[in-house]
């Protein structure tokens, strides 16, 4: 579903991503670990066509992102680290607006049921988003993915700053999305969440994918050791 081949991108003299090869299949959660500046966000931005690679290709569902940016965006939902919405509008209205940009018209009741499916309490759905916590806003992002039946989810450190309960709720939602058949690529610093939620874990260092593991094959402590070894190498 997500297919990155030999992707290279530099910013001036700094190589952000070097010869990256990565594949995320349907029903898979791929957690991308790495220190700040390892190239995780550049990888996600390449899939959003926000940065143009110097070499290699990024494909979503077989479509080359740089060739068909709007068609590929129809298949994905992106949730940044700090999902910002229109504070004067309610959760329902925000969801209706962003769905509408993909050509999906959501009735109020559909919007509410999608938000509820994403874990938002019903009484919050008609309240102004200005009063939402970060976790609630992330849930609107998930509701967007549910409403649009997105085949691909790109998440850039979505749980950073969330309290453990909210983080756990979010992980549950991701698992549900995976079960619906979505391919999820999540950049994160949270080793515990990566092991718990992910099906595959990739470790990036200085723009390169230095290791790739099956989440089921490693324990928490093994993962931490492997990660630290790569970071110190």
Partner 1 sequence: MMTHIFSFEWLHFRKSGVFWGTATALPLLIGFSLFLGSERINEQNETISDIIATETVFYDNMRSQLEAIERGEAEVDAWFQNPANPLVLGQFGQAGRHIFLHPNPLAPLAAGQLDILPYYGKVTLTTMEPLRDNALENPFMQVSGSFDFAFVLVWLVPLFIIVMGYNVISSERERGTYSLLQSQPVSMRTILVQKMIFRFLLVFGIIILSLFVWAVLFGINLFNIQGLQLIAAISIYAAFWFALCVLFNLFQTSSAINAVGLTGLWVFFLLIIPSVISLIVISLHPVPSRALWITEQRAIQQAIQAEGDAIFDTWVVDHPEEFVEGDTPQFYDTWIRRFVWAQATEEREREAERQFEEPRERQAQLASRLRVLSPPMTLQAWLERKAGTDKDRLRSLEKEMRSFQQEWQEFFLPRFQRLEFFTADELTDLPAPQ
List interacting residues with partner 1 (CB under 8 A). Answer: 48, 50, 70-71, 73-74, 76-78, 80, 82-89, 93, 96-98, 100-103, 141, 154
Nearest CB to partner 1, comparing residues 147 and 210? 147
- CA separation for the pair 37, 44 (Å, rounded): 13
C-beta of residue 61 within 8 angstroms of C-beta of residue 75: yes
Burial class (CB in 10 A: 0-12, 13-18, 19+), 52: exposed
Measuring CA to CA, which residue among 150, 146, 152, 149 is closest to residue 183?
152
Min separation Cβ 148 and partner 1, Å: 10
Q: Nearest approach, Cβ of 108 to partner 1 (angstroms)? A: 13
Nearer to partner 1, 97 or 192 (CB): 97
Whether residue 179 contacts residue 171, with contact meaning beta carbons closer than 8 Å, is answered with no
Q: Which is nearer to partner 1, 19 or 160 (CB)?
A: 160
- Residues 147 and 114: their CA atoms lie apart, in Å, by 6
Q: How far is the CB of 87 from partner 1 (least distance, A)?
A: 7
Locate 3 and state its tokens: 């297919």
Shortest Å distance, C-beta 193 to partner 1:
22
Our CB check for partner 1 shows the closer of 72 and 159 to be 72
């Amino acid at each position: 579903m997500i297919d990155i081949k030999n992707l290279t991108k530099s910013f001036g003299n700094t190589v952000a991503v070097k010869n990256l090869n990565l594949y995320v299949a349907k029903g898979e959660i791929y957690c991308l670990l790495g220190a700040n500046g390892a190239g995780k966000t550049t990888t996600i931005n390449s899939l959003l066509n926000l940065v143009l690679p110097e070499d290699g290709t990024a494909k979503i569902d077989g479509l080359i992102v740089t060739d068909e940016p709007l068609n590929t965006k129809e298949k994905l939902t992106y949730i940044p680290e700090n999902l910002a919405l229109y504070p004067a509008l309610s959760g329902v209205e925000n969801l209706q607006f962003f769905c509408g940009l993909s050509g999906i018209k959501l009735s109020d009741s559909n919007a509410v049921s999608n938000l509820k499916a994403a874990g938002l309490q019903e009484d919050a759905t008609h309240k102004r988003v200005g009063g939402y916590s970060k976790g609630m806003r992330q849930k609107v992002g998930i509701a967007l993915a549910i409403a649009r039946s997105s085949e691909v989810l790109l998440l850039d450190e979505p749980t950073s700053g969330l309290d453990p309960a909210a983080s756990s709720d979010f992980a549950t939602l991701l698992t549900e999305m995976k079960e619906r058949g979505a391919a999820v690529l999540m950049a994160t610093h949270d080793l515990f969440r990566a092991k718990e939620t992910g099906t595959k874990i990739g470790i990036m260092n200085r723009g390169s994918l230095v290791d790739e593991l099956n989440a089921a094959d490693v324990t928490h402590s093994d993962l931490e050791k492997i990660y630290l070894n790569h970071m110190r190498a």
